[in-house]
Amino acid sequence: MTGAASGIGRAIATALVLRGDTVVVTDLNGDKAKEVAERLTGHGPGQASAAQLDVTDAAAVGQVVHAARAEHGKLDLMINNAGVIIAGAVEDLGLEHWDLAVNVNLRGVIHGVHAAYPIMLEQGSGHIVNMASVAGLAPFPMIAPYAATKHAVVGLSKTLRAEAAARGVRVTVVCPGMTNTGFTPNPGLPPVPSAQRITALESKGPAFQPEQLANAVLHGIDRNKAVVIAPGSAHLVSGLYRHFPRLADRAGQWLAKAAAQRGVIKS
């Protein structure tokens, strides 16, 4: 699985190993991936190995996925979890912010699917899990690049699920609400003042724990759910947008207005 050295990825990898699975922990930070894999193997009953991986490199993703299949004889599960949060008012963002969101959050998932799906078709079995967000189900002001890519991941996943079902391959998309991962918005990019203020505001609210989300993800995998949404507040948001889109639109406008009043964006 990708992006597995911290946060949600690490929690899911831990849950998988604890139930006896063999997991390849990949991350851009290879040292952290190795540290996590060694710790997980020590706790068992499953086991873990590690690989440094940049999901924006399609060839590298393919090599890791095929190596895992060659070593273990089968690829049962591919979890495309790696992602970045790009935040800030649209007017404050440069193309480099949009490019990073697309390259990691969308292309990274595409690369994982492109590598794993043919293997699973050949096997006649397998499960692809793509990490999106509740921001991929409803409008969320101040995180436009992130929301755009997560909407794309939801669409990709639902379409692939329809194609793959008759071929023995399952597909699930995960749409969590705010989760306590200690994220840093816009990593390695020019600072965006509005993004920094957004982070400060969001850190004051309650957050779902990665371990809780991991349990929801495994539950969804076991039951072949098309979409996993957690926690309850995320269900509320997605339900509001699905059943009352005009009301949800107004709520989004209210959030943008509230951000302006707090000095997060210009009014």
Q: Taking the CA atoms of the chain, what radius of gyration do you get in angstroms?
A: 18
Would you tell me how many other CB atoms lie within 10 Å of the CB of residue 127?
19
DSSP codes joined into one string, the chain: --S-SSHHHHHHHHHHHHTT-EEEEEESSHHHHHHHHHHHHHH-SSEEEEEE--TT-HHHHHHHHHHHHHHHS---EEEE-------S-GGG--HHHHHHHIIIIIHHHHHHHHHHHHHHHHHT-EEEEEE--GGGTS--TT-HHHHHHHHHHHHHHHHHHHHHGGGTEEEEEEEE-SB-----SSTTS---HHHHHHHHHHTTS--B-HHHHHHHHHHHHHTT-SEEEESHHHHHHHHHHHH-HHHHHHHHHHHHHHHHHTTSS--
Neighbours of 43 (CB within 10 A): 12
> Taking CA 247 as the corner, what is the angle to CA 245 and CA 252, rounded to the nearest 5 degrees?
90
Query: Of the listed 87, 126, 138, 146, which one is catalytic?
Result: 146
Q: Active-site residue 146, yes or no?
A: yes
* Catalytic residue IDs: 146
